[in-house]
Structure 1
Amino acid sequence: MNTIYNKSSKSASNNTIKQLSTSEFSKWDCYVKNHPQGSFFHLSGWKEVISKSFNHDCYFLYVEIDGKISGVLPLVEVKSKLFGHALISTPFCVYGGAIADTPELVRQLEQQACQLAEKLSVDYLELRYQEKQESSLLLKQAHSTFGFALAEDNEKILASIKKKQRAVIRHSLKNELSFSLEQGKSNLADFYQLLSTSYRNLGTPIFSKNYFDNLVDVFGDNIDIAVIKNKDNQLSSAVMNFYFNEQVLPYYGGGNDSARGLKSADYMYYQVMCNASEKGYRWYDFGRSKNDSGPYKYKKNWGMEPKSLYYYYHLVNATELPNLSPNNPKYKLFIQLWQKLPLKVSQLVGPFLSKFLG
């Protein structure tokens, strides 16, 4: 752990701000699960996953009042000569930012994060909020999130989906596809093969398989993996799902060239919805997409309304807001070259780059 930051400090209102230690993981997670803005991406397990998978320094801050946690802010330092130096809440996650008992405590945690960003001499601090904040930090709104309530049974779920997309799902149900949903690592190899293929085809560096191993190890029963095969038992689509409170989040998904014709991704997401509903989950979080992108339009086709995300920044050494989007023209040639790589090469080289694309 980088010792540049003091493990505990006093705020202006005499609240103690500390760094999370292993002994406090359960208290931290209890707070997150009971906070209305708490998310899967605020959980303490990310500290272990990110440290083990990428060797990034983690600074998980919390406010303590009378021995009780009253606010949390997970932060990770990501440092790269190619992509810059940042302090982020939380990299590899779509949500983050401070959550606390009061707006004043949120601002105190933000202030502490700004001070830490300056001590670390990063390019910028990035806080990924779901809700608009009364913050003095710079705001960027380039992404939206999608979701909807899950009905009690399969037919009602299907009926709640927009008509055009509902027809696609009905088509997929006739394609003799198989659906396997497993906890643990029994589906992990097939999932990684399909995700790697999808990432390579998009021109995006894939994470190491070790990262997904660590996610399963750390979050256990709160993760499962769905794999779709065709009638000849050949792979088509796969997704890794996260579960938090009453929510299911299909987070990492991909497929091969057969997916489009078989409508296997549409089939898969519908099956994930139905399975989650049967287990008592009531909200389907379809995740983040860049505004007006292809995935953004695809999710709207399901009948889900976009909800803007609020990403706030404090610039330290940077002079302008970061733009690591694939739509950035300076990455165009890189993406085109990456799409031409053999799959095995992309799996070998990708992890050296993806660890900095948080």
Structure 2
Amino acid sequence: MEAKIVSITRPDVQEWEQLWNSCPYATYFHSPEWAHIWQHYSEGKISPAPVLLAFNDGKKALLPFSIEKACKGLVKSTLSSPAGTYGGWISTDRLAPEHEKSVWQYILREYPNLIIRTNPYYANNSAVPVVPCMDDVTHHVPMDGPFEKIEKEWRKGHRSAVHKAARLGVTVREASSMNDWETYGLLYKDSLRRWGERASSNYRQSLFSIMGSLNSSRIKLWLAQYEGNIVAGALCLYSRHHVVYWHGAALDKYYFLNPVNYLVYDIMMKASREGYAWFDFNPSAGHAGVIKFKQGFNPRISSCPVYITQTFSKRLYCMFSSRIGGNK
């Protein structure tokens, strides 16, 4: 039976939230909360534009898209998820290849300027009908079995680093005030100074302030402390089955304490005991040192390529923007 799209509607936040909460492969990046964070942070340049597709057999799929405007709104791009994070549709129904084909036909027809990173937790990403512009992977650890068993699979050096941090008095706690979020922003600023041109992002303090002000149970900023000082932090995002270590920062003068190793240990232990299925380190932007660090936790490696489609006018805009930026 051919799967035909018979209805295209704009879901409200409650409908989006309910479907996201129930979808077994949804990550935090598919949530309305994530889209609204970026709407606020971008001061309206990025705005949520979700679409709910209904098929002739009663099944549904939601596209958690956002629209990004540039050049005073003359150039628009569709983001499957803001900040280059996992995208694609979410659904509570089991979609067959016929449904996937119809969704992709709709997407490519209606969204000529599209940026989408596939979701490694969706079963059939091989159905994408366009060639990726960038191959990429994520490192993630399945939380199947007791945490003690998971930890035993780590490299000896990583386990030793955790024990050393605990012995020297490093502790981990969740951020409990806006001052904690501001302090984390200062750690990130110091990390940017150290990374220089190697940095793959450069966010303003306002992003962390926005996320902290939500008091969301799905957003947790974990902080490593030593002698009363915050020395490292890990910003993790939670969905039904998935925890992602989305952002991190640390003070280099405290590296001898191995605070990041201890953060990962503590966060992963809690996630395992709370019943989450995956701890995701997120893609590494090609940084060899970051990849080496993640590999020490015996992760699985899953593909999550990025696909981009552009109109001629969008390509011209991108080319012009890059030249202007290069002359600064």
Question: Shared fold by TM > 0.5?
Answer: yes
Normalising by structure 1, report the TM-score.
0.73
1:139 corresponds to which letter in structure 2? P
Secondary structure of 1:97's aligned partner: coil
Normalising by structure 2, report the TM-score.
0.79
Residue 76 of structure 2 corresponds to residue 76 of structure 1: no
> 1:280 Cα deviation (Å)?
3.1
2:68 corresponds to which letter in structure 1? V
1:129–1:151 CA distance, 2 compared to 1 (3 A)? closer
Distance in 2 separating the partners of 1:151 and 1:74 = 29
1:255–1:308 CA distance, 2 compared to 1 (3 A)? same
Q: Which ranges in structure 1 are unaligned for 5 or more consecutive residues?
A: 1-11, 119-123, 335-358
Distance in 1 separating the partners of 2:136 and 2:326 = 20
Is contact 1:71–1:106 with CA below 8 Å preserved after alignment? no
1:295 corresponds to which letter in structure 2? V
Residue 83 of structure 2 corresponds to residue 87 of structure 1: no
2:20 corresponds to which letter in structure 1? V
> 1:16 Cα deviation (Å)?
0.9
Equivalent residue for 1:339? none
> 1:238 Cα deviation (Å)?
0.6
1:215–1:107 CA distance, 2 compared to 1 (3 A)? farther
Residue 10 of structure 2 corresponds to residue 19 of structure 1: yes
Is contact 2:104–2:129 with CA below 8 Å preserved after alignment? no
1:225 to 203, 212, 221: 221
Secondary structure of 1:99's aligned partner: coil
Distance in 2 separating the partners of 1:61 and 1:242 = 23
Equivalent residue for 2:114? 125
Residue 203 of structure 2 corresponds to residue 213 of structure 1: no
Secondary structure of 2:202's aligned partner: coil
Q: Which ranges in structure 2 are unaligned for 5 or more consecutive residues?
A: none
Secondary structure of 1:302's aligned partner: coil
2:87 corresponds to which letter in structure 1? G
Secondary structure of 1:190's aligned partner: helix
Is contact 2:28–2:34 with CA below 8 Å preserved after alignment? no
Secondary structure of 2:275's aligned partner: coil
Equivalent residue for 1:47? 35
Is contact 1:138–1:314 with CA below 8 Å preserved after alignment? no
Distance in 2 separating the partners of 1:248 and 1:74 = 19
Equivalent residue for 1:352? none
> 1:200 Cα deviation (Å)?
3.5
1:266 to 254, 257, 261: 261
1:287 to 257, 282, 291: 282
Identity %, equivalent residues: 18
Distance in 1 separating the partners of 2:310 and 2:327 = 28
Is contact 1:28–1:43 with CA below 8 Å preserved after alignment? yes
Residue 98 of structure 2 corresponds to residue 104 of structure 1: yes
> 1:173 Cα deviation (Å)?
2.2
Distance in 2 separating the partners of 1:72 and 1:184 = 35
Equivalent residue for 2:190? 197
Secondary structure of 1:71's aligned partner: strand
Distance in 2 separating the partners of 1:80 and 1:308 = 30
Distance in 1 separating the partners of 2:14 and 2:235 = 24
